[in-house]
A and B are shown apart, each in its own frame.
Chain A
Amino acid sequence: MIVKLNHLQGKAAATSAQDVIGTVYTLLEEGHIEKAQFARLQIELDWIQYKQNFREVVIATHGYNEQGQQVPIMDVHVDTRQVVPGCLRAALLRALAHSNAPEPQNQDRLPLEQFQSMRTSIVWEFNKLYWSRLKDWEMATGKGYEQALPGGQSDGHNPEAIADSVTDFWTLLRDLESKNQLPPEIYLLEIGVGTGTRCGMWLTQFRGVDQERGTDYYPKLRVLLGDYSLATLDMSRPAVEEHADLCSFLVLDAMNPLKTLSFLRHKIMQVHTTNVYDNLPDEEVVRRDGKLYFVQVRAYVPMAEVVRLSTEFDIPPDKLRGTVSRLLSGSTDFLGDPERGVAFWMQLWNAMRLEERLVLVEDLPDFPFPQGLDAGKVEDVLKEAPSDFRFHLSSGALASFLNTLPLLHPRGYLQVQDIFVTDLDQYRLGFYGPGKLDGSLLNWVNGALLKEVAERAGYNVRFAPFHYRKGSRTSVLYTTRRE
């Protein structure tokens, strides 16, 4: 048995670890765990970074081959922060019993889908619902979504960061002008505009610098504010009102901006995005004993929660799945009262969990990797990676990244403010998602993988810590053209 303590913080770690080890030994002696199983067992403690997440206190994850037969690996994950004193043994037994029981006998939960890649899981439909019905959620909680962010506001609004960004951009334009290469129209794109505050602040700052330095770049700007939610775009308008003549609002798919903007291929000077990549569909891979396992997930609601929701909202348990489908179709008045609809949505989201299984990737070259990745690139990345670890493929972020790069002018750049794992070694110390942030999802972005993919697409990528807010975990990704 291997116990991974890497994620534990502080002195309490030793006690937590002892409790878990002691309990597992007891279960071994009592025959709840087989010796062969025990020999291959890996236990990870506190591997979930976010306290608001999709996991039970203890989960046991089995490995399967592509034919669906179990292979002899098993991971147990324990969130010691949530263990109620005296309940660890029961939680461990429950997780083991569930993972060992044949499917029809599992009566402790209501699955909302089949096992599948995280990137296609129903949880992303909830994420989409959140952004399209943001006002309803905010009204119910009585607070804006930015208040859920660390520090209570978006790092995108930081005045110093905006001032530096404006200066860098003005310098680029000056350089192009000195070479007679300044385009007549200077395109900028922001993907995921949020409240529009950043864009408004940036434009006001740029106008000031432009006037102060006597250049005439501001009127040449063509600013595209893109978001997949029309509601968010509407919300962003007031913040850029004084620059309205320069701004266009576009509904676009953050994972494929090129689809909407192909007419601007090689023309956009700056693309900016803040906290978008961390909210795009993702999936995970585990490397164990030299083999790769793809993580499949299944969303479910624990049966106790099913009973509670059923009673509170007067929905028969066998109708709950149908009610979820109606909710995801975008309406909140399906319970006859919009407020009740939102309350159901919030409580359901809070109760929702993900169970998982590991599926052996037997044929790497034919594995359906996300856009931009193939077996060769993954192998290259893994050469420098820890031998036993779990990482994000960051599928949505990769797609967005690769479908944005062709829009860049030869001197243009992409700037991504987000939470990045910049080195695969970081996965030794934390897992970095997924977490729940209000009604949305949150995953750190595998920057190391992004870097590899970017290099093959003709860009170097560097990450700079966001130094404008003390304690910020944000980094800023900058692209530069690769020769």
Chain B
Amino acid sequence: MVGSYAMPGWLERLKTEYFARRISRHDLDEIYDAAAKAAIKDQEIAGLDIVTDGEPRRDNMVDYFVERLPGVQIDRSSKKFYYDFYDSVVQGKLPMASLGLVPDFNFLQTFTERQTKICITGPHCLSKRIRNQYYPSEEALATDIAKVMNLELKALVKAGAKYIQIDEPYYSGFPEDLPWCVKVLNTMVEGVDAKIAVHICYGNRYGKPSWEGSYRYLFPTIMEAKVHQLTLEFARRGGEDLDLFKEFNTNFELGVGVIDVKTDDIETPEMVADRIQKALKVLPPERIFILPDCGLFHLPRDVAFAKLKAMVEGTRIVRKELGR
């Protein structure tokens, strides 16, 4: 999984009910726990090796972190619908304090025996959404966010996290930022003893891309990133950019997106296997992880589940061919 699982319509309505103060925080938390357990179970039944909590607690990939970042002020009346972004602003130096993500990780660990992954929205993305009224530049704001998050990553590792993904979809929208983005990324992961993946896609807001283009902009700058894995979308966009991994000699593992999350059409296992085979032409199997293109947030639950099953079955076809 890249991170999120399908957001059920009933949960969307209950989130909105909470905003309208028709249900309590306590009830909402219980609802979130139930939704997370269901998401974990679906992933297990689909046959995934590594699972997330499905992220039902997150209204979107930004607000969950903006709410937790110390020193960021939020206008709570700025949302009409739960999925909207809060209007947020930073007016002073960010203090170092916990984001409180460890309980989410502990919950996940409690309800699965599988390997786990926790996903965190990266500093570049957050710096694009928070109005900066203090720092001299976006880079300076992102660097301080990275320092706060570095503490959080270390806390997660202490709690047992072995695989952490940093989500940075805005790289593709602002390729000119990449040189400083990599520096910020390295600040964030410094001394963090876990497998670190960076997920870079072309956006998935409302289930549609925010930008188009080629991953060529990532190279060679991204090669300076002190991370273990790049998680990229290839299913929707086709596998042309896989050749970049031939052209540039990197040590990264590659999280290969083989499921298009922007359509309800369900891939066949054979389609998935074909996409994996394309990746195997540029990297050895031990450096390849199989994932959807991005989070499954916008898909109906039955479609998301069927897509995960197809992903697992397609992977099994290839494993069999490889004799694994």
Using a Cβ cutoff of 8 Å, how many contacts connect chains A and B?
39
Among B205, B208, B210, B212, residue most surrounded by chain A Cβ atoms (within 10 Å): B208
> Contact between B209 and A266 (Cβ–Cβ < 8 Å)?
yes
Measured between beta carbons, the chain A residues less than 8 angstroms from B81 are: 455-456
Chain B contacts with A in 10-30, Cβ cutoff 8 A = 13, 16
> Contact between A458 and B206 (Cβ–Cβ < 8 Å)?
yes
Q: Is B203 engaged at the interface, CB distance under 8 Å to the other chain?
A: yes
Given contacts A376-B13, A455-B81, contact A406 B208 (CB under 8 A): yes
Instruction: Flag A414-428 by CB within 8 Å of B: 1 or 0 each.
Output: 000000000000000
> Contact between A265 and B212 (Cβ–Cβ < 8 Å)?
no
> Contact between A483 and B212 (Cβ–Cβ < 8 Å)?
no
Where chain B touches its partner, the secondary structure class is loop
Q: Is B85 engaged at the interface, CB distance under 8 Å to the other chain?
A: yes
19 examples of A-B residue contacts, CB within 8 angstroms = A181-B211, A181-B212, A181-B213, A266-B208, A266-B212, A266-B262, A376-B16, A405-B208, A406-B208, A408-B208, A410-B202, A410-B208, A410-B209, A455-B80, A455-B81, A458-B208, A482-B206, A483-B85, A483-B205
Chain B contacts with A in 28-61, Cβ cutoff 8 A = none
> Contact between B263 and A265 (Cβ–Cβ < 8 Å)?
yes
Q: What's the nearest-Cβ distance from chain A to residue B217, in Å?
A: 9
Given contacts A458-B206, A483-B85, contact A409 B16 (CB under 8 A): no
Instruction: Flag B201-236 by CB within 8 Å of A: 1 or 0 each.
Output: 011011111111100000000000000000000000
Q: What's the nearest-Cβ distance from chain B to residue A171, in Å?
A: 18
Q: Is A386 engaged at the interface, CB distance under 8 Å to the other chain?
A: no
> Contact between B212 and A410 (Cβ–Cβ < 8 Å)?
yes
Q: What's the nearest-Cβ distance from chain B to residue A364, in Å?
A: 13
Measured between beta carbons, the chain B residues less than 8 angstroms from A265 are: 262-263
Complex Cα distance, B81 from A457, in Å, reads 12
Measured between beta carbons, the chain A residues less than 8 angstroms from B211 are: 181, 410
Q: What's the nearest-Cβ distance from chain A to residue B114, in Å?
A: 33
Measured between beta carbons, the chain A residues less than 8 angstroms from B213 are: 180-181
Besides A405-B208, A408-B208, A455-B80, 7 more A-B contacts (Cβ < 8 Å) are: A181-B211, A409-B212, A410-B203, A410-B209, A458-B207, A482-B205, A482-B206
B174: nearest chain-A partner, CB-CB: A179
Complex Cα distance, B81 from A406, in Å, reads 21
Chain A contacts with B in 92-135, Cβ cutoff 8 A = none
Instruction: Flag A443-483 by CB within 8 Å of B: 1 or 0 each.
Output: 00000000000011110000000000000000000000111
Q: What's the nearest-Cβ distance from chain A to residue B216, in Å?
A: 10
Measured between beta carbons, the chain A residues less than 8 angstroms from B203 are: 410
A-B pairs, top 4 by smallest CB distance, nearest first, are: A458-B206, A410-B209, A410-B210, A410-B211
Instruction: Flag A264-282 by CB within 8 Å of B: 1 or 0 each.
Output: 0110000000000000000
Among A265, A376, A410, residue most surrounded by chain B Cβ atoms (within 10 Å): A410
B-side interface size class? 10 to 19
Q: Is A219 engaged at the interface, CB distance under 8 Å to the other chain?
A: no
Complex Cα distance, B214 from A183, in Å, reads 11
Measured between beta carbons, the chain B residues less than 8 angstroms from A410 are: 202-203, 208-212
Measured between beta carbons, the chain B residues less than 8 angstroms from A376 are: 13, 16
B80: nearest chain-A partner, CB-CB: A455
Measured between beta carbons, the chain A residues less than 8 angstroms from B210 are: 410, 481
Q: What's the nearest-Cβ distance from chain A to residue B109, in Å?
A: 34
Complex Cα distance, B263 from A273, in Å, reads 25
Complex Cα distance, B85 from A408, in Å, reads 22
Chain B contacts with A in 159-207, Cβ cutoff 8 A = 202-203, 205-207
Measured between beta carbons, the chain B residues less than 8 angstroms from A483 are: 85, 205
Q: What's the nearest-Cβ distance from chain B to residue A450, in Å?
A: 16
B213: nearest chain-A partner, CB-CB: A181
Complex Cα distance, B122 from A149, in Å, reads 55
Complex Cα distance, B210 from A458, in Å, reads 11
B206: nearest chain-A partner, CB-CB: A458
Measured between beta carbons, the chain A residues less than 8 angstroms from B205 are: 458, 482-483
Chain A contacts with B in 384-439, Cβ cutoff 8 A = 405-406, 408-410
Measured between beta carbons, the chain A residues less than 8 angstroms from B262 are: 265-266, 406
Measured between beta carbons, the chain A residues less than 8 angstroms from B13 are: 376
Measured between beta carbons, the chain B residues less than 8 angstroms from A183 are: 212
Q: What's the nearest-Cβ distance from chain B to residue A65, in Å?
A: 26
Complex Cα distance, B205 from A166, in Å, reads 28
Measured between beta carbons, the chain B residues less than 8 angstroms from A374 are: 9
Q: What's the nearest-Cβ distance from chain A to residue B205, in Å?
A: 6
Complex Cα distance, B208 from A457, in Å, reads 9
Q: What's the nearest-Cβ distance from chain A to residue B203, in Å?
A: 7
Complex Cα distance, B205 from A455, in Å, reads 12
Measured between beta carbons, the chain A residues less than 8 angstroms from B16 are: 376
A181: nearest chain-B partner, CB-CB: B213
Measured between beta carbons, the chain A residues less than 8 angstroms from B208 are: 266, 405-406, 408, 410, 458
Instruction: Flag A137-165 by CB within 8 Å of B: 1 or 0 each.
Output: 00000000000000000000000000000
B210: nearest chain-A partner, CB-CB: A410
Among B205, B210, B212, residue most surrounded by chain A Cβ atoms (within 10 Å): B212
Q: What's the nearest-Cβ distance from chain A to residue B286, in Å?
A: 33
B9: nearest chain-A partner, CB-CB: A374
Q: What's the nearest-Cβ distance from chain B to residue A362, in Å?
A: 20
Complex Cα distance, B212 from A405, in Å, reads 16
Complex Cα distance, B209 from A145, in Å, reads 40
Measured between beta carbons, the chain A residues less than 8 angstroms from B263 are: 265
Complex Cα distance, B324 from A145, in Å, reads 68
Q: What's the nearest-Cβ distance from chain B to residue A403, in Å?
A: 13
Q: What's the nearest-Cβ distance from chain A to residue B116, in Å?
A: 31
Complex Cα distance, B131 from A483, in Å, reads 14
Measured between beta carbons, the chain A residues less than 8 angstroms from B85 are: 483
A258: nearest chain-B partner, CB-CB: B263
B16: nearest chain-A partner, CB-CB: A376
B176: nearest chain-A partner, CB-CB: A179
> Contact between A457 and B209 (Cβ–Cβ < 8 Å)?
no
Q: What's the nearest-Cβ distance from chain B to residue A365, in Å?
A: 10
Q: What's the nearest-Cβ distance from chain A to residue B287, in Å?
A: 30
Q: What's the nearest-Cβ distance from chain A to residue B82, in Å?
A: 11
Complex Cα distance, B16 from A283, in Å, reads 28
Measured between beta carbons, the chain A residues less than 8 angstroms from B202 are: 410
Complex Cα distance, B263 from A180, in Å, reads 27
Measured between beta carbons, the chain A residues less than 8 angstroms from B206 are: 457-458, 482
Complex Cα distance, B172 from A410, in Å, reads 12
Chain B contacts with A in 275-316, Cβ cutoff 8 A = none
